[in-house]
Amino acid sequence: MLSLYSNKVKAGFPSPATDYVQNRIDLNTLLIRHPASTYLVEVEGDSMIDLGIYPNDILIVDRSLTACNKDIVIALIDDGFTAKQLILGENIILRAHNENYADITVQGSLELFGVVASSIRRFKR
């Protein structure tokens, strides 16, 4: 369990307010709704950087969720997994969020591993 401070952290001008511990938070409870169907995957590549998903981020993937339009999903494409935004319409599109990558228009059936529920980024010293 980790401590949650009652005051929010300013990302601009620092606040002179004193912080007090409000609650204790279990990151498993906060980030994982369905433990039996949740997996962690590490990101390789930069196709989703414009959505804030970077190489070495850890994605929390929930296999029990039904994918909806604009969800970030883990899909099986050409014998490999990829993280992309699911666009549902006349065609099913897996959208990259980096101008160096083209959208993937799905031909035939699409196999989804799960829906990305959260991401974790570690900052190293």
Q: What digits encode the pLDDT tens for the residues 68-87?
A: 999 999 999 887 899 999 99
Q: For residue 47, give the nearest of 39, 57, 37 by alpha carbon.
A: 57
Could you give the CA distance from residue 77 to residue 44 in angstroms, rounded to a whole number? Answer: 15
Q: For residue 62, give the nearest of 41, 88, 82 by alpha carbon.
A: 41
Q: What is the mean pLDDT of residues 39-64?
A: 96
Catalytic residues: 47, 84
| Residue 21 confidence class, pLDDT cut points 50, 70, 90 | low
Looking at domain 33-120, its CATH class is mainly beta
Could you give the CA distance from residue 83 to residue 68 in angstroms, rounded to a whole number? Answer: 15
Cite the DSSP H helix spans in 5-119.
27-31
Could you give the CA distance from residue 17 to residue 6 in angstroms, rounded to a whole number? Answer: 11
